[in-house]
Amino acid sequence: MAHPIDIHVGRRLKARRRLLGLTQERLAKAVDIRFQQIQKYESGVNRISASRLWSLSKALKVPVSYFFEGMNGHEPVSEFDINGDYGFAEAPAAEILDEKETIDLVRYYYQLNEEPRKRLLDLAKAMSGEN
């Protein structure tokens, strides 16, 4: 079973890759591995070594700390509980960038100039009922 931290790091990897519009193949080529390995990293099946995490951070233009953002300082309570599962004092924050639609929205939003972005944000606030 994948460790929750490996799953979190994999989700952050996938979110950033998608945000940049990179395929698994292009990212894999940039760090000189096979795309299947990127798939395993993104799902949390395989752990990412420190040197590979550093390479991925350079390829994705983020600091290594990016991959751990959203964990809110939560670490496993103990290595294993009685059932062999890892536990968190609280669950890590949900990944809002898991959906392709969200990634597309963010990408297109930042392609707009400042005034249309402000209008779009105002529209979204109005539609959500936020003042």
- The pLDDT assigned to 108 comes to 86
One-character DSSP codes across 63-124:
-GGGGGTTSTT--BSSS--TTS---BSSPPPP-TT-SHHHHHHHHHHHHS-HHHHHHHHHHH
10-residue block means of pLDDT along the chain (131 residues)? Answer: 88 90 95 96 94 96 91 52 42 57 83 90 84 60
pLDDT at 73: 62
How is domain 4-94 classified at the CATH fold level? Answer: 434 Repressor (Amino-terminal Domain) (1.10.260)
Q: Which pLDDT score, from 0 to 100, does residue 89 have?
A: 37
Q: How many CB atoms lie within 10 A of CB 35?
A: 14
| Per-residue confidence (pLDDT) for residue 75, from 0 to 100 | 53
pLDDT of residue 131: 60
Cα separation of 110 and 17, whole Å?
A: 16
Measured on CA atoms in the order 51, 56, 62, 64, is the torsion positive or negative?
negative
Residue 96, pLDDT score:
64
- Residue 87: per-residue pLDDT: 43
